[in-house]
Amino acid sequence: MSELAIGDIAPQFDIPRDGGGTVSLQTFAGKPVVLYFYPKDDTSGCTTEALAFTALLPEFEKTGAAVIGVSPDTVKKHDKFVEKHALAVILGSDEDTAVANLYGVWKEKSMYGRKYMGIDRTTFLIDAHGRIANVWPKVKVAGHAEEVLKALQTL
């Protein structure tokens, strides 16, 4: 799928989540959603990002927003990640990368000259009407959760 832009309707999804059950964008209809895609549980940047969103979760919740992290990791890995770091955000398991493809964040990457497919760390702010209000591609983790919160507070 081509890149999503501000004003586009956010693609619907229903995927397994940490703790069992599923997470669906439809569940949060009428509320804003912070949907962040990250490459892998329990890596340095991904842990820092999840901890930052968890620390600010009460502020996100004051706006009525849900915070959902999505990676290709299994629910079992998500559960270990949540337990190890006391995470409070929802973690969706996109093992087949269908959601990452819908949102245009499953991309060819390169490390040390080796090409491979992976998640391009990206955050989407979805408004209460289900439209994309903001997009942060190629996220740099430091200060990111705070930046997303500020954008959310201006919706």
Q: Which residues are catalytic?
A: 46
- Whose structure tokens read 């040390």? 112
Interatomic CA distance for residues 95 and 73, integer angstroms: 6
Q: Which of 11, 38, 49, 13 is nearest to 132 (CA)?
A: 11
139, two tokens = 């996220």
Alpha-helical regions (H) of 41-116:
44-55, 57-62, 75-85, 98-102
Closest CA to 66 of 28, 23, 103: 28
Cα–Cα distance measured from residue 47 to residue 28, given in angstroms and rounded to the nearest whole number: 25
